[in-house]
Amino acid sequence: MDITEDRKATIKVLNNLIETSKDGEAGFKVCAEDVKRPDLKTLFLDRAQQCAQAAAELQRVVLQLGGDPEESTSVGGDLHRRWVDLKALVTGKDEEAVLNECERGEDVAKKHYAEALEKPLPAEIRTLVQRQYDGVLRNHDQIKALRNAARANS
């Protein structure tokens, strides 16, 4: 593979992660709307902001590589959010259901970041992706712990 092909492959990986981050941002905003507890609302809005920052960071790298950065969420993310809205109508938007959906979204993000790290990425980009992946793992574990606590209280 020549440099151009390597660069195209890297841009494709980063654009997938941009979509993933934008999905997370949108998903956390939906979850923030659906919860009543102020601490969870704040947590979800903070997570949405972190996802937006991650997407912006990745978009800058794609531009530096000469690519066109992804600007939107994925079709799958849009479908997931609609499913969350439908499920919330059915379940009455209880805390555990919302946290379940947040965890499901974080599972998808974990998978996408893990797949990206399996690709041959330049060292500085690999470091960036690994740092963001570490944040996804922390988010997932925190959401899971909150979900487990909500389940124990229900």
- pLDDT tens track for 11-37: 999 999 999 999 888 888 888 887 888
Over 60: is that where the pLDDT of 47 sits?
Answer: yes
Contacts of 101 (CB under 8 A, 6+ apart): 27, 31, 84, 87, 88
Q: What is the pTM of this model?
A: 0.84
pLDDT tens digits, 106-121: 898 999 999 999 999 9
Dist CA 146 CA 29 (whole Å): 17
Which DSSP string do the residues of 24-49 spell out, in sequence order?
A: HHHHHHHHHHH---HHHHHHHHHHHH
Q: What is the average pLDDT value for the chain, to the nearest integer?
A: 86
Over 70: is that where the pLDDT of 134 sits?
Answer: yes
To the nearest 10 degrees (0 to 180), the angle between helices 3-34 and 95-117 is 170
Dist CA 118 CA 120 (whole Å): 7
Of 127, 68, 81, nearest in space to 108 by CA: 81
CATH at residue 45: 1.20.1260.10
Q: Look at residue 1 in the predicted model and tell me its pLDDT.
A: 41
Number of domains in the chain: 1
Alpha carbon distances (Å) from 34 to 69, 101, 123: 30, 11, 40
CB distance 13 to 116 below 8 Å: yes
Q: Which amino acid is at 62?
A: V
Poorest-pLDDT segment among 24-28, 58-62, 134-138: 24-28
Per-residue burial over 1-28, b if 16 or more Cβ lie within 10 Å, else e, is eeeeeeeeebbebbbbbbbbbbbbbbbb
Question: Which range of residues forms the domain containing residue 90?
Answer: 3-153
